[in-house]
Amino acid sequence: MAKISYVNGRYVHHAEGAVHIEDRGYQFADGVYEVMAFYNRRFVDENLHMKRLARSLAELHIKPPMSAKAMRMVMQELLARNDRIDGTVYIQISRGVAKRDHHFPKIHDSSIVMVITGAKMPKAKEVREGVSVITCPDLRWARRDIKSISLLPNILAKQAATAAGAREAWLVNDKGIITEGAVSNNAIINSKGEIITSPKDNNILGGVTRETVLNLASKAGLKIVERSFSIKEAKAAKEAFLTSTTSNVLPVTRIDGIKVGNGKPGTITMQLLELYYQHIYKQTGKRWS
Ligand code: PDD
């Protein structure tokens, strides 16, 4: 079955999917996106992702290209037209095509693109043994809560991590506070068993996985503290982990080459991963082991 993508009202062969050279997403990164996982052709936390997409659009005054209901129908149609059972859908919406001028165009239709791909989930070894992260300066703008397609600082940080043989880069502001990862949220666990994670404000993207995992943790009676934490505190933590749509809950066992705790995935982290697997199972029927 050929790979089919959705571009501005048409289902096209992926290789032929294209947008106009004056699309503002292309010229200005004037757009937003979502990445949603599906297993057994069922989406995980679809409502939360759609809610965040609507919020990102509203914050940037980008007109939704269609109703949320219509968008969900396109997503279903794409699942039907592609042969992937598990994977992700990438949705990108830009302010549309217009003559290149910084201010908003007066009359325009937003552009929308959707692409289905296989999810690059962590390898079993990474989950079993944990991953390493490096720290990098957080060079991003002040509205990180918007899932904007303008990702240069994230790209540079992730490339630095890749070059260093690490899974992820943890971004550090000028006060030594770790905000989040280049492509994920993060948390540490202290010796009291408290899960410490940056508050959901303009400094981080409010991750859907983060929100779900915190809800599951709280239902399981675990203590959550939403506050900033420093590099120093992270390096002295008992456990650490990251969360995202494409990494679930992933134990972090080294920060800048320094062991976290005993250097092995922590018990609370693995409990959270198990709870998250159950959450996915309930929504999609997907089993992980
Ligand atoms: N990244 N923070 C940043 C900067 C991110 O890019 C992401 C997700 C997250 C986690 O959000 P969620 O749990 O909703 O996936 C946090 C996606 C997967 C990406 O850019 O591909």
Neighbours of 20 (CB within 10 A): 14
Please choose, from the candidates 127, 51, 172, 162, the residue with its C-alpha nearest in 3D space to the C-alpha of residue 288: 127
CB-side neighbour CA atoms (13 Å) of 120 = 2
Query: How far is ligand 1, taken at its centre, from the CA of residue 245, in Å?
Result: 7
Query: How far is ligand 1, taken at its centre, from the CA of residue 87, in Å?
Result: 15
CATH architecture of 4-118: 2-Layer Sandwich (3.30)
Q: Does ligand 1 lie within 6 Å of residue 32's CB atom?
A: no
CB-side neighbour CA atoms (13 Å) of 217 = 26
Q: Does ligand 1 lie within 6 Å of residue 246's CB atom?
A: yes
Instruction: Name the residue with the closest Cα to ligand 1, atom 6.
Output: 183
Record: fold of 124-284: D-amino Acid Aminotransferase; Chain A, domain 2 (3.20.10)
Query: How far is ligand 1, taken at its centre, from the CA of residue 51, in Å?
Result: 15
Task: Say how far residue 121 (Cα) sits from the centre of its chain.
Answer: 12
Please give the span between the terminal C-alpha atoms of the chain, in angstroms, as a whole number.
28
Q: Write down the residue that tokens 């290149």 correspond to.
A: 100
CA-CA distance, 273 to 27, in Å (whole number)? 39
Kindly give the confidence (pLDDT) of every residue in the chain, 289 residues in length, as a single tens digit, with 9 standing for 90 and above: 899 999 999 999 999 999 999 999 999 999 999 999 999 999 999 999 999 999 999 999 999 999 999 999 999 999 999 999 999 999 999 999 999 999 999 877 999 999 999 988 999 999 999 999 999 999 999 999 999 999 999 999 999 999 999 999 999 999 999 999 999 999 999 999 999 999 999 999 999 999 999 999 999 999 999 999 999 999 999 999 999 999 999 999 999 999 999 999 999 999 999 999 999 999 999 998 6
Task: Say how far residue 127 (Cα) sits from the centre of its chain.
Answer: 18
Q: Write down the residue that tokens 């991953």 correspond to.
A: 131
Q: Does ligand 1 lie within 6 Å of residue 184's CB atom?
A: yes
- Structural Rg of the chain based on CA atoms: 19
**pTM (predicted TM-score):** 0.97
Q: Does ligand 1 lie within 6 Å of residue 268's CB atom?
A: no
Task: Say how far residue 42 (Cα) sits from the centre of its chain.
Answer: 18
Q: Which atom, in ligand 1's list, is nearest to the CA of 90?
A: 21
Do the beta carbons of residue 194 and residue 218 sit within 8 Å? no
Domain spans, the chain: 4-118, 124-284
CA-CA distance, 110 to 103, in Å (whole number)? 15
Question: Best substitution site from 91, 184, 197 to test ligand 1's pocket, by max atoms within 8 Å of Cβ?
Answer: 184
Q: Which atom, in ligand 1's list, is nearest to the CA of 209?
A: 13
Is 147 a residue of the active site? yes
Do the beta carbons of residue 36 and residue 116 sit within 8 Å? no
Query: How far is ligand 1, taken at its centre, from the CA of residue 247, in Å?
Result: 9
List of E strands, 8-83 = 10-13, 31-39, 42-43
